[in-house]
Amino acid sequence: MLNKYARAFFTRVLTPFAALLLRLGVSPDAVTLVGTAGVMAGALVFFPMGEFFWGTIVITIFVFSDLVDGNMARQAGISSRWGAFLDSTLDRVADGAIFAGFALWYAGSGDDNILCAVAIFCLASGQVVSYTKARGESIGLPVAVNGLVERAERLVISLVAAGLAGLHTFGVPGIDILLPIALWIVAVGSLVTLIQRVVTVRRESAEADAAEPAAVDPSAAGSAGQVGQVGQGSEGDR
């Protein structure tokens, strides 16, 4: 949900900045690479030290590159399969770095093995949630479900909580509890989303497999009607 509405809003806001970068001769791929490097630096340098506020500030600055690079490509008319592949791949790297930073904190100075495990689960489940949709689409299925917690929700919940928790170092009492709560929410939400997508792929694949024999059998008089009914049911489920 956040991905649908927030992306459209920030895309409009960042369009002038994307146009400026194009005039300066900056390529979309360069923005993608710099943005990923910035997110990784913010997560893997600041978070393991417990500097959640400043780490979140750095990450937030660079995470908008995910919107700027695509905007630049569209404005320049140079959208490509390579650009989409690079952007998607480095998104996974950046997401992994954020939760790895949390895990390193709890494995070290944070001294909480349970929350370290939860952070690792968030990292792994986030990757698998993305994979299920990509894999389903690669075998020709629409995977017509968004799920409870997508990438945008994972980032917003985690980074907002981390930034607020970082105010603890400025003397705000009790606020550091927000990060553990956020990690549990992301972990449970990611698990629910994974189940939603797996169930959707199973249903869609069963519908596609059932429709294929009827579609290739011209001798069955009633096959065309059955195929039509399957198609209508599938469209309604989406």
Taking CA 156 as the corner, what is the angle to CA 154 and CA 61, rounded to the nearest 5 degrees? 120
Can you tell me the distance from the alpha carbon of 166 to that of 175, in angstroms, rounded to the nearest whole number? 8
Q: Is 187 exposed, middle or buried (0-12, 13-18, 19+ CB in 10 A)?
A: buried
Torsion of CA 72, 38, 124, 188, to 10 degrees: -90
Q: Which of 29, 91, 95, 176 is catalytic?
A: 91
87: annotated active-site residue: no
Phi-psi region of 127 (alpha: psi -120 to 50; beta: other; left: phi over 0): alpha
Q: What are phi and psi of 141, to 5 degrees?
A: -105, 150
Q: What residues are annotated to the active site?
A: 91
